[in-house]
Amino acid sequence: MAISASTTGELLIDQSDNIVVITLNRPDRLNAISREMLQELSDKIVEADQDPDVRCIILTGAGKGFCAGLDLVDVSQGGIGSKSKKGSNRPRQLFNLRDAPITVMWNIDTPIVCALNGAAAGYGMDIALLCDIRIAAESSKMAAVTAKRAVVPESGGTWLLPRLIGWAKASELYYRGRVVLAPECLEIGLVNTVVPDDQLMDTAMEWARDIADNAPLAVQTTKRMMRMGLEQSYDTSVDQLMMHLSGMFASEDFEEGVQSFLERRKPKFTGR
């Protein structure tokens, strides 16, 4: 199977073997998220997750920025979360985040590697945090500046950041509205590694290939159980892991894993 191309041009889709690269493609706006990009990003992530041939997703941005957040121009012109043109509030209704990128990214089992090529702010910072792994270019930075805009990290940031770097450090970043450069991002655990700008995508692809070379069912189950384990007791988590393990013992990939170990060769997993 192959992931379909973007219909808006605001995303670039590149599939190579078992890896899909999704590039936010509004470089003139520092990849600020438009209404159209919101829906299409969700669609492409779901499409990649449902493709049995895809074992890893890389998310990055075109140009000098990763993502500047939600497009404030779009908001001011009647887009995301705005008032109507006459200034009156729209009719009150329940909002639905089921198909939003922030919900989709959290719930899928396919690993996502963020190739952080520039500034990530607001919504852009949140989607970077939602990735499983973050590889940062030396020129990249995280901008926790929502308080300077009279808004909040509405897209999961207040849940994610304290779990990633601790309550006190998350409080420092959010309350002070700090911009954190790549070296400090690495120091406090916001990113996994920092590489020269011209090595960013090569490094992201190398890590993605390492992931894709492993048994996909094992990787995806590990991700799911890590996610669920954040809200489970130890005993519940271990019990579920044992249930998953019994199914893996019956898989072709388990047989291949054992056989390749005995034959001292690299395994060739099929996902079955």
Asked if 19 contacts 207 with a C-beta cutoff of 8 angstroms, the reply is no
Tens-place pLDDT, residues 54-97: 999 999 999 999 999 988 666 555 444 444 445 555 555 656 78
Instruction: Give the confidence band of 257 by pLDDT, cuts at 50, 70, 90.
Output: very high
- pLDDT at residue 230 is higher than 80: yes
Check residue 92 and give its pLDDT.
58
Check residue 22 and give its pLDDT.
97
Check residue 149 and give its pLDDT.
84
- The structural domains of the chain, ordered by start, are 11-213 (3.90.226.10), 216-262 (1.10.12)
Distance (Å, whole) CA 129 – CA 159: 10
- pLDDT at residue 109 is higher than 50: yes
Dihedral angle sign, alpha carbons of residues 32, 36, 42, 45: negative
Tens-place pLDDT, residues 143-153: 999 888 888 88
Residue among 258, 252, 249 nearest 272 (CA)? 252
Check residue 7 and give its pLDDT.
82
Residue among 53, 55, 111, 102 nearest 80 (CA)? 102
What lies within 8 Å, CB to CB, of 47 at 6+ separation is 3, 4
Check residue 104 and give its pLDDT.
95
In terms of phi and psi (left: phi > 0; alpha: psi -120 to 50; beta: otherwise), the region of 30 is: left
Q: Which of 170-179, 235-244, 251-260 has the highest mean pLDDT?
A: 170-179
Distance (Å, whole) CA 155 – CA 101: 9
- pLDDT at residue 239 is higher than 50: yes
Distances 12 to 31, 62, 127, 245 between C-alpha atoms, Å: 12, 9, 17, 37
Q: How far apart are the first and last CA of the chain?
A: 16
Check residue 81 and give its pLDDT.
46
